[in-house]
Amino acid sequence: MAGVSRTVLTTTQMFSRFVTNTSKNISCKRCFSVTRPVQGEKPLIGFIGLGNMGNHMARNLVSKGYPVLVYDVNTAAVDGLKQAGAKTASNPAEIAANTDRIVTMLPASKHVQEVYTGNNGIFSKVVKGTIMLDSSTIDPAVSQDMAKVAEGKGAFYLDAPVSGGVNAAKQALLTFMVGGPDSKFPEAQEILQNMGKNVVHCGAVGTGQAAKICNNMLLGISMIGTSETMNLGIKLGLDPKMLAKILNMSSGRCWSSDTYNPCPGVFENVPSSNNYDGGFGTALMTKDLGLANNAAKDTNSAVSLGQRAFEIYTKMTEKGYGGKDFSVIFKILEEMSGPEVEKKKKEFYDQ
């Protein structure tokens, strides 16, 4: 499920500068060999995008013994990976010039386009035969466009979005949904299995993104449903931990209830018990639900709940909750409840 470091700048501000902030006069020195490693030697992997998810993913590659070359606009994130044992690059082009295996984890379609096709982007220095694995959640059409550009340069772009959240990224338990040619999947799997427990080949380029946006549409819907259920149960006098226990041994069980419960105090080490900080941002969920709704329009698919979830998360983002974890919907519902619930609902959704 894709977050990026927010130490100083907002996500959009940081990544809009992803390429333009780097010097146009930087030359890509070949500090590393892009030849295939000898038997038993692990290859250098380039990693771009060290946010909430990418940071842990890159660290897992380092911990598994891979040499890793990283880049992010957030220098604090880069410094942290350097201390963990990674090498650092000045821009995406430098990474492309020095390795033939690259993983990217970026917030949205426009950031992927900039990092791959910008003046200091990957495609400006990509080496023939390079395999690029994009774990961002973006429009499937953008993935297909990137794959066409890569093909023209003799390289391979595969979409490989993830699901599982920050804790799964930290523990290397992610699920990867991969879209790309059959012939390149084993090579992709060899890299991705170091960061996750499930690596699934979905089909051609773009099908990984299709699977991901379907998954996240369901996730957004289920988080709203879980939050409404927990809020109602508490109002009826039920202990939240007891209610969660019942849900998780009954037919209402889902990931939002048994792993990522939105009610503070039900589980430790989830955003709801940390003032909804960290995790998967509301703004990113809004973006993913928008992708799902666009896809529904393009395919004439009926997604009534998906559309409503998109409207709710859009309003949450507009109200200033974009930087909070998407489970903050529980807090909003809790504050909305009470004697004037209908008035508060109208004020929240109509203003």
Q: Which residues are catalytic?
A: 212
**Residue carrying structure tokens 């003032």:** 275
DSSP state of 50: -
CA 262 to CA 268: how far, in whole Å? 11
Cβ 105 vs Cβ 138: under 8 Å: no
Cα-flanking dihedrals φ and ψ of residue 149, to 5°?
A: -65, -45
Residues 131 and 101 sit within 8 Å (Cβ to Cβ): yes
Q: CA 247 from chain center: how many Å?
A: 28
Other Cβ atoms less than 10 A from the Cβ of 301: the count is 11
Q: For residues 231 and 228, what is the distance between their CA atoms, to the nearest angstrom?
A: 5
Q: List all residues 6 or more positions away from 24 whose beta carbon is below 8 Å from its beta carbon.
A: 119, 120
Contact between residue 285 and residue 220 where contact means Cβ atoms under 8 Å apart: yes
CA distance linking residue 200 with residue 142, whole number of Å: 20
The 10 Å Cβ neighbour count of residue 336 is 17
Other C-beta atoms lying within 10 Å of the C-beta of residue 120 = 24
Which SS3 state, helix, strand or coil, does residue 21 take? coil
Amino acid at 30: R
Q: Give the whole-angstrom CA distance, residue 103 versus residue 350.
A: 41
Two tokens at 71?
């880049």
∠8-88-64 over CA atoms, to 5°? 105
